[in-house]
Structure 1
Amino acid sequence: DARAGQLVSSGVAQDGRVAIALPNGVGHHEWVFATWKAGATPCIIPHRLPANELSEIIALATPAAIIGTEARQSGDAVFIAGDSPLPVRQATPPRQPASSWKIVASGGSTGRPKLIVDRGPAELTAGLEGIIDLLGIPRDGTVLNAGPLYHNGPFLFSNLALIAGSRVVGMNRFDPEEWLKLVERERVEWCFLVPTMMHRIWSLPAEVRLAYDISSLKRIVHMAAACPVWLKSAWIDWLGPDRVFEGYAGTETPGTTISGAEWLKKPGSVGRVAPDTITVRGPDGLECQPGEIGEIFFPPTSADRFHYIGSAPTLDASGRVSLGDMGYIDPDGYLYLADRRTDMIIRGGANIYPAEIEAAFDEHPAVAGAAAIGLPCEEFGHRVHVILQVRAGNEVPIKNVIAFAADRLAAYKRPETYEIIDGPLRDDAGKIRRSALRDERIEWLRTGKPFQQAIER
């Protein structure tokens, strides 16, 4: 109540927006709930972003207030330090629930950030109750949040757990052994993970992983990236099929779910498609036959529920939404993911858009062109690899170019390997054929061919 009053007295109006750029912690939840109490919409954004990227996101959000750890100014927005002293509690004028309950920041396919506005009201609806029940979030238990609260999954599930009456134990930063310690010490019952976290936990020495008592854990739910079949199988062998649950969806779409027991009958599937939801379509827009790979589309209602700022969703002629995923549906109605249609790089469950990385390098005066691609990585699924074309006569040390881009890119977007080439990256039409570049280098990895002037960060 006190924080809500602070927001109202700072000029946050009904249905106003509050940008929350805070690290994981009690304060993040405190300000989110205060925003809802004030009849406003929280816009969750990463707190550690380069200044120019953060400024772009805040400019798109046009918030009435910015809650953060460092003073930020944008338009008429009021900055409030996240750890500011709690004001004297006073009666807050009653407000109606905000017409949109959350805004999530995301990268854009053009290299520019975008915001996804959920038009669902800021109140406990039957839909949110259904998510709580479907995923088995306990209503009076203990939930562990292992991910950053500026990502949709951790934000959604940890706050739903609080709404359901559970206690949420948060991690400031994910560490695999610390995760095991917390599950044991806090008797955690439920947790959301991404496959990269699962991989890091599984990669601990067996004697370390098995030294902790995690018998309290009733369910882990994983999504946000494709989980390798071998890793999923290993977790099911470890925890048992009843405790491993998978979901597939986007921030703005319905999706599929599959239990561990069901997955054992359909290894590699992300779940059975409900009627009138997901379809797989070919380039002609027609539905693919069972087993035929095509682009995955979600129903038009997905577009109706969400509003985009800074970008637009990919829609077909009938208004269906695509996330750029390719896949197929088997004769029994189970969905399998095949690959990405777009050039998006998914690293540890985080979406990274090549255009943004390339734009950062293109600013350097010695760089004539840059192409960012995702190459296979055992731990994160993909690693960012950048191919650089250096201007003739510019013998700039690569470490200078790397440092230049580091000032413009968040840490998880920075390339792990670099390659310098002599020839042009773009074709006669001015296009970068990232798929061809990626396929060529994957073949080089397979055959052991060395890259031209390859450099590791």
Structure 2
Amino acid sequence: MYPGTHAVSTPDKPAVIMGGTGETLSFRDLEEGSARLANHLHAAGLRRGDVVALVADNVARVYEVYWAAQRSGLYVTAVNHHLSAPEAAYIVRDCGAKALLVSAGVAGLAAAVEDHVDVPVRLAFGGAIPGASSYTDYDEALAGVSADPPADQPRGADMLYSSGTTGRPKGIKPTLPDRQIDEPGDTYQALFGPMYGFDTETVYLSPAPLYHAAPLRFTATVQALGGTVVVMERFDPEQALALIERHRVTHSQWVPTMFVRMLKLPAEVRARYDVSSLRVAIHAAAPCPVEVKQAMIDWWGPVLHEYYAATEANGITFIDSAQWQERPGSVGRAGLGTIRICGDDGTVLGPGEIGTVYFERDARPFEYHNDPGRTEAAQHPGHESWTTTGDLGYVDADGFLFLTDRKAFMIISGGVNIYPQEVEDALALHPKVLDVAVIGVPDEEMGEAVKAVVQTPDTVSDGPELERELIDFVRGRIAHYKAPASVDFTDFLPRTPTGKLVKRELRDRYV
């Protein structure tokens, strides 16, 4: 299915509600708007396999652009609007965009990118882009365009870029499906619809940026299945709770840093809001500390569902609250692909042995755009259809996967492997820790030493006493050799808006 199906049966039902403004886009609006844009892009010469780049904040019109591409056989590349102009321009150029659509909400970035890209079709919505002359007003351009569905509607796809936490962003290009938009076969609908119970009664809260893979794909899946999506312009912990109560939200998706922010609200604030409508609270994108997840289950009940996946969509694992409480820390069993844990030489390892996490599929499900070297590096040395995104972990005897860290972040101190995630998890809920990252820094004797970099709340004074307190806190929870040898304090840790630590930037300060 796709939203046009529901534009016929429930045309006035909201497909999108903006959490802050209350702006609503009905299924009729979404169908007609996406059809107009699809017809406009076709008239401008875009054909199956071409790319539409989108630079926008969280606004309802994002979905018109998304579904116009999906019903035209086009790729849509949503660009992180927090990037610098050179970084954003690199993505627009690298993806080979034939059309660039921008939102007035990110006018500064849109204007700065203008002179660095060569894109024939440029549209701006939500207002003018001061200082830029090449963008045509979206509403004016589409004013006389037919809202009738195109005669041919081949299914498109997204081509998104990795967050670049370990290097330059990589374009992840799937093969276009060989079917029409209204024909069955969508993996997300078939997999996640039954898994989480998405249907026409779903009210789904999305608190994260829509340029990221999970928010974009999951909200689109909910719309395709006839549910309503409530989109937060930006995450705020108390507003999120208020929106759950106001819209009787049934489903939602989060990253662990959002859980931490909500858990650190005063108890009386948390108790103020009714969250009993929640049937499923999904979380993913980053490892969730055991104590954080247990605290959320204690608060919201056994509605938490975790999955492990990547923008590459090379494999997925699933775990619900009951399974997780039997195996705290696991991210579940495979729901797409077969998990293979392999050593550095490619040898398949047994239960409990830590190695690189690969997913085996019938064929390689993606390639990195314009980067055959990275595509090859993501493959198992002996099996082209086994691919990895660089995570380390192990499986237990029942096939449940436990992640230890990313291979690029592992610390080797005195010849012993130390996984920063374990130390970060130990510190995450300390009352004097707002945010934390753990890295390895050069050490003459040990090769690398463990360093914690901590952001404290404004009300907390840092210094040597707090450093000692935090080190002792970790030593009381995990093996002493894993504890930080030192703690630095900072006003800011580099995270993407989706909650991932950009450790590359942090390590550059020390290494």
Equivalent AA in structure 1 for residue 152 of structure 2: R
Equivalent AA in structure 1 for residue 297 of structure 2: I
Check the 8 A contact 1:294/1:327 in 2, yes or no: yes
Equivalent AA in structure 2 for residue 251 of structure 1: T
SS of structure 2 residue aligned to 1:439: strand
Check the 8 A contact 2:342/2:348 in 1, yes or no: yes
Check the 8 A contact 1:10/1:65 in 2, yes or no: no
SS of structure 2 residue aligned to 1:236: helix
1:133 pairs with 2:194: yes
Structure 2 residue corresponding to 1:281, chosen from 342, 347, 359: 342
Aligned residue for 2:300?
Answer: 239
Q: How does 1:5-404 map to 2 (within 5 A)?
A: 5-69=39-103, 70-71=110-111, 72=114, 74-83=117-126, 84-85=138-139, 86-90=142-146, 91=148, 93-98=150-155, 100-108=156-164, 111-121=167-177, 123=181, 124-128=184-188, 129-241=190-302, 243-252=303-312, 253-273=314-334, 277-301=338-362, 304-311=364-371, 312-313=374-375, 314-317=378-381, 318-319=383-384, 320-343=386-409, 376=424, 378=428, 382-383=436-437
The Cα shift of 1:6 comes to: 2.3
1:439 pairs with 2:450: yes
SS of structure 2 residue aligned to 1:263: helix
Query: Structure 2 CA distance, aligned partners of 1:275 and 1:30?
Result: 29
Aligned residue for 2:503?
Answer: none
Check the 8 A contact 1:138/1:190 in 2, yes or no: no
Check the 8 A contact 1:196/1:380 in 2, yes or no: no
Equivalent AA in structure 1 for residue 84 of structure 2: P
Check the 8 A contact 2:440/2:449 in 1, yes or no: no
Q: Which moved more, 1:64-73 or 1:209-218?
A: 64-73
The Cα shift of 1:64 comes to: 0.8
Query: Structure 1 CA distance, aligned partners of 2:337 and 2:36?
Result: 45
SS of structure 1 residue aligned to 2:408: coil
TM-score (norm 1): 0.75
CA 1:249 to 1:211, structure 2 compared with 1: closer, same or farther past 3 Å?
A: same
SS of structure 1 residue aligned to 2:54: strand
CA 1:281 to 1:450, structure 2 compared with 1: closer, same or farther past 3 Å?
A: closer
Query: Structure 2 CA distance, aligned partners of 1:110 and 1:263?
Result: 29
Q: Which moved more, 1:273-282 or 1:167-176?
A: 273-282
CA 1:107 to 1:436, structure 2 compared with 1: closer, same or farther past 3 Å?
A: farther
CA 1:381 to 1:291, structure 2 compared with 1: closer, same or farther past 3 Å?
A: farther
The Cα shift of 1:161 comes to: 0.6
Q: Which moved more, 1:166-175 or 1:319-328?
A: 319-328
Check the 8 A contact 1:193/1:223 in 2, yes or no: yes
Check the 8 A contact 2:452/2:486 in 1, yes or no: no
Check the 8 A contact 1:298/1:322 in 2, yes or no: yes
CA 1:310 to 1:384, structure 2 compared with 1: closer, same or farther past 3 Å?
A: farther
Cα deviations across residues 268-316 of structure 1 (Å, max 9, x unaligned)? Answer: 11112469601111223222221121111111546x2212114423222
Query: Structure 2 CA distance, aligned partners of 1:271 and 1:143?
Result: 23
The Cα shift of 1:436 comes to: 5.2
Cα deviations across residues 352-378 of structure 1 (Å, max 9, x unaligned)? Answer: xxxxxxxxxxxxxxxxxxxxx999473
Query: Structure 2 CA distance, aligned partners of 1:201 and 1:455?
Result: 22
Root-mean-square deviation over aligned CA pairs: 3.1
Aligned residue pairs total 382
The Cα shift of 1:104 comes to: 0.6
Q: Which moved more, 1:214-223 or 1:86-95?
A: 86-95
Query: Structure 2 CA distance, aligned partners of 1:265 and 1:174?
Result: 31
Query: Structure 2 CA distance, aligned partners of 1:137 and 1:438?
Result: 47
Check the 8 A contact 1:14/1:96 in 2, yes or no: no
The Cα shift of 1:381 comes to: 6.5
Cα deviations across residues 416-438 of structure 1 (Å, max 9, x unaligned)? Answer: xxxxxxxxx899xxxxxxx9556
Query: Structure 1 CA distance, aligned partners of 2:145 and 2:292?
Result: 50
CA 1:227 to 1:290, structure 2 compared with 1: closer, same or farther past 3 Å?
A: same
SS of structure 1 residue aligned to 2:62: helix
CA 1:35 to 1:269, structure 2 compared with 1: closer, same or farther past 3 Å?
A: same
| Runs of 5+ consecutive residues of structure 1 not aligned to the other structure | 346-372, 388-424, 428-434
CA 1:321 to 1:193, structure 2 compared with 1: closer, same or farther past 3 Å?
A: same
Check the 8 A contact 2:318/2:335 in 1, yes or no: no
Query: Structure 1 CA distance, aligned partners of 2:102 and 2:238?
Result: 30
The Cα shift of 1:199 comes to: 1.1
SS of structure 2 residue aligned to 1:64: strand
The Cα shift of 1:75 comes to: 2.1
SS of structure 2 residue aligned to 1:8: helix
The Cα shift of 1:52 comes to: 0.4
CA 1:276 to 1:117, structure 2 compared with 1: closer, same or farther past 3 Å?
A: closer
Cα deviations across residues 314-337 of structure 1 (Å, max 9, x unaligned)? Answer: 222112212211111112221111
Query: Structure 2 CA distance, aligned partners of 1:383 and 1:115?
Result: 27
| Runs of 5+ consecutive residues of structure 2 not aligned to the other structure | 1-34, 104-109, 127-137, 412-419, 454-466, 473-483, 493-511
Identical columns (%)? 33
Cα deviations across residues 252-282 of structure 1 (Å, max 9, x unaligned)? Answer: 2212101101111111111124696011112
Query: Structure 2 CA distance, aligned partners of 1:105 and 1:436?
Result: 34
CA 1:118 to 1:82, structure 2 compared with 1: closer, same or farther past 3 Å?
A: farther
Query: Structure 1 CA distance, aligned partners of 2:173 and 2:253?
Result: 23
Query: Structure 2 CA distance, aligned partners of 1:455 and 1:145?
Result: 30
TM-score (norm 2): 0.68
SS of structure 2 residue aligned to 1:204: coil
Query: Structure 1 CA distance, aligned partners of 2:340 and 2:241?
Result: 39
CA 1:38 to 1:82, structure 2 compared with 1: closer, same or farther past 3 Å?
A: farther
The Cα shift of 1:108 comes to: 4.6
